[in-house]
Amino acid sequence: MSPAFGKCYDPTGATWGLPTYPWQLAPDGLATRRQLRARGLRPGGQPITAQIMRRSRRRKSGAQVAYLYRINQAKQVRPMTAARWVALDKAMTARRTCPQCLTDAGYCIPTSLGVCVPCAYPDNSMEVAA
């Protein structure tokens, strides 16, 4: 095993408190939240079983971590009800509606601008149209 993986390999959990495996070398039967979701499952309140770790220069801690859950204890994802679909539709409509001109922009308005692009830059919109 390479030295880069040596710090990430701790199947007993002595160093990190949880069994730790290098990236992409987790044992079968364990999955991350995203992997569970891809299978239509969710952790369902079960405790974290293990973690996978890899070195990362971008993180302050120097490592990127993902928690693992048991697949056999995972539960099915709750189905979307009609009320949830309505609430999601209202929320997405609110994100697309410009508070200044009150029109549907057709895209989610950037939070950095707070308004649609034509309202944020009224002078530039005339140059683009010409």
HSE-up (13 A, CA, CB side) for residue 66:
18
Domain range summary for the chain, segments of one domain joined by +? 3-76, 82-129
- Is residue 87's pLDDT more than 60? yes
Tell me, what amino acid is at 45?
Answer: G
pLDDT one-digit tens code per residue, 16-71: 788 999 888 889 999 999 999 999 999 999 999 999 988 777 777 677 889 999 99
* CB atoms near residue 36 (< 10 Å): 21
Q: Report the distance separating Cα 2 and Cα 30, nearest Å.
A: 23
Environment class of residue 8 by beta-carbon count within 10 Å: exposed (0-12), middle (13-18) or buried (19+)? Answer: buried
Specify the pTM. 0.66
